[in-house]
Amino acid sequence: MTQHKTLNIQEISTEQRQRFLADQPRASFLQNPYWPQTKAAWRGQSLGWWDNDELVATSLVLYRPIPVPGLRGRNLAYMAEGPIFDPEDVALDSLVNPLVPYLRSQGAFLIRMGLPFMLRRWDAETVRRTLSANDHDMIPDLHPVESDPTAWSLEDSLVRLGWEKPEMTEDFGPGQAQFQARIPLPELTDEQRADRESPEFVQAVEDVLARMDSTSRRQTRKSMRSDLQISVGDVSEISQWQALYEETAERDDFTGRPQSYFEAMFNALNASEIAQCKVLFAHFENQLLASAIYVQQQDTGWYVYGASTRAESKRYAPRALQLEQVKLSLEAGARWYDLGGVSPTLNKEHELAGLTRFKTTMGADVVETMGEWDYPINKVLARAFNRYLARRG
């Protein structure tokens, strides 16, 4: 039963956070205490909530200063996918009540918090069929296959405590997308997942393939017969990833990240005892056709970034890397393989509809998270900051 009590909040060490997170299956890599090493413009801090001498909740907080003269020391306090706690044991009030004054003392003018709980989940096949039919406006119009009453209760508590609910929008805003595409993975024993040739592991992969639509499944199976060499690189090979990534960015007209970011990400997460980051390559003969950045922590594996060339496209190298990441997730005992954000729109003419269509054809269900909630400590600065983000696009 949830206990309503006063908790003591204070900064904790990296080691304390890692020990706590090791027992928390839903802890995202965005809450990993090493993650701030990838964010040069942010200051990271690990916070812990204590019930007497027991650590009952933790969160990574990233502080981003306001880029305005005269406001030195004022910052956004951002908790992506945090805090991490068990709502059956810890009341949300007990976390939030000491959090707000603490972050105010750190110079925060705005707190942005994304609790790591799922509100609802919709089946991949239902979403992709409805998207093709174009007879609904938004995914929440559909009947979910799962709804979490605990998450809904937490949402009610946030409203009562004065937090601002994120507005549902068809487009992606700053921060983490509220709607995510996730493939549920079969459960395997430690012995079964240690051997890719075991009947149970082979069947688990087949179960994932069965979730795909016929085109994705056919292309994935073809990639398995395409004489591709799949390999895992180290940090010295990220330059190969970067070259292909920049080719992809130019072709698809988006602004990419520098090589230093991916090197920092690789080094930071692999320094952690609870996470792994891998750079994957798919070659045909001596030509690099596709590459991906994969991360796994606790119950989830993430396809974080991908890049490919148009050469030898009928070998479907990106499909081969998707399947490799599914296998890595199964080996790690993950329950989900996460393909990233989607729009909640079911308007097939919307520019983001194709992304939803692709991810659901891969067998990914659509999950509605609680989203990122705001608590404006200084309402004037918070409004100005949000207008700045909106203008920036």
Same structural domain for residues 346 and 239? yes
Given a cut of 90, is residue 2 above it in pLDDT?
A: no
Q: Which tokens is 249 given?
A: 């960015």
Q: Which tokens is 151 given?
A: 């998450």
Query: For residue 45, with 0-12 CB atoms within 10 Å meaning exposed, 13-18 middle and 19 or more buried, which class applies?
Result: middle
Beta bridge partners of 307: 291
Q: How confident is the model at residue 49 (pLDDT cuts 50, 70, 90)?
A: very high
Residue 234 in domain: yes
Query: In the prediction, which pLDDT does 1 show?
Result: 44
Query: In the prediction, which pLDDT does 335 show?
Result: 97
Residue 2 in domain: no
Same structural domain for residues 255 and 380? no
Please give the Cα distance from 347 to 171 (Å, whole number).
Answer: 12
Q: Percent of the chain, pLDDT > 70?
A: 96
Residues 288 and 147: beta-carbon distance below 8 Å:
no
Q: What is the mean pLDDT of residues 234-250?
A: 96
CATH number at residue 175: 3.40.630.30
Same structural domain for residues 326 and 365? yes
Residue 273 in domain: yes
Query: In the prediction, which pLDDT does 134 show?
Result: 76
Same structural domain for residues 321 and 357? yes
Q: pLDDT tens digits, residue range 343-391?
A: 999 998 999 999 999 999 999 999 999 999 999 998 888 887 777 766 6
Same structural domain for residues 250 and 351? yes
| H or E element in which residue 184 lies | strand 179-184
Q: pLDDT tens digits, residue range 115-150?
A: 999 999 999 999 999 998 877 789 999 999 999 999
Same structural domain for residues 127 and 55? no
User: Which of the 8 DSSP states describes residue 345?
Assistant: B
Please give the Cα distance from 347 to 134 (Å, whole number).
Answer: 6
Same structural domain for residues 203 and 315? yes
Q: How much is the mean pLDDT over the chain? A: 94
Domain that residue 108 falls in: 8-114+373-392
Please give the Cα distance from 298 to 81 (Å, whole number).
Answer: 13
Q: How many domains does the chain divide into?
A: 2
Residue 154 in domain: no
Q: pLDDT tens digits, residue range 68-115?
A: 666 778 899 999 999 999 999 999 999 999 999 999 999 999 999 999
Please give the Cα distance from 247 to 290 (Å, whole number).
Answer: 11
Same structural domain for residues 187 and 302? yes
Residue 1 in domain: no
Phi, psi dihedrals of residue 220, rounded to the nearest 5°: -65, -45
Q: How confident is the model at residue 243 (pLDDT cuts 50, 70, 90)?
A: very high
Q: What is the mean pLDDT of residues 297-308?
A: 97
Same structural domain for residues 74 and 16? yes
Same structural domain for residues 12 and 70? yes
Same structural domain for residues 69 and 216? no
Q: pLDDT tens digits, residue range 11-39?
A: 999 999 999 999 999 999 999 999 999 99
Given a cut of 60, is residue 393 above it in pLDDT?
A: no
Residue 155 in domain: no
Query: In the prediction, which pLDDT does 14 show?
Result: 95
